[in-house]
Amino acid sequence: MNEHVPVLYHEVLNLLQPQPGGLYLDGTLGAGGHTAGLLALSAPTGRVLGFDRDPEALRYAQAQLVAYGERVTYVQASYAEMASLAPDCGFAAVDGVLLDLGLSSRQLDNPERGFSFMRPGPLDMRFDSTRGETAADLL
């Protein structure tokens, strides 16, 4: 796993109480830190369905979670679509749902993403840079 420690990592896992064989939804997968904890505590057969709108975040999480193999499924979509997409992925009923809303430090620290005014870069501000209008387009 990476050096990034998710916000309230232990508190989240304590509240969700992952159990072996459990099914969990991570609606904001990001770097995969919370999901790694869910998978570790739900071993050997627990599974996580991870959602993220950001294709860069999904690629990063896949690399970080490769050791968990097929126990984690990745979906490029918003958490708002979880209820409609989860059943088709084998997650009709789940044991826990996680939403860690907001920007990640990986998004803020990359000037090309356009989320921060701290470094020069395009005014983009999209979670998925392949879809929709940029912030500059809207101004």
44-54 pLDDT, tens digit per residue, is: 999 999 999 99
Q: Are residues 89 and 39 in the same domain?
A: yes
Indicate if the pLDDT at residue 111 is higher than 80.
no
Query: What is the per-residue pLDDT for 37?
Result: 98
Which residues make Cβ contacts (< 8 Å) with residue 93, sequence separation at least 6? Answer: 23
3-class SS letters over 25-89? EECCCCCCHHHHHHHHHCCCCCEEEEEECCHHHHHHHHHHCHHHHHHEEEEECCHHHHHHHCHHH
Q: Are residues 84 and 123 in the same domain?
A: no
Q: Are residues 92 and 139 in the same domain?
A: no
Query: What is the per-residue pLDDT for 50?
Result: 99
Q: Are residues 89 and 124 in the same domain?
A: no
What domain range is 138 assigned to? 106-139
Calculate the average pLDDT of the chain: 90
The two beta strands, 23-26 and 47-52, are parallel
**Which position has the higher pLDDT, 19 or 111?**
19
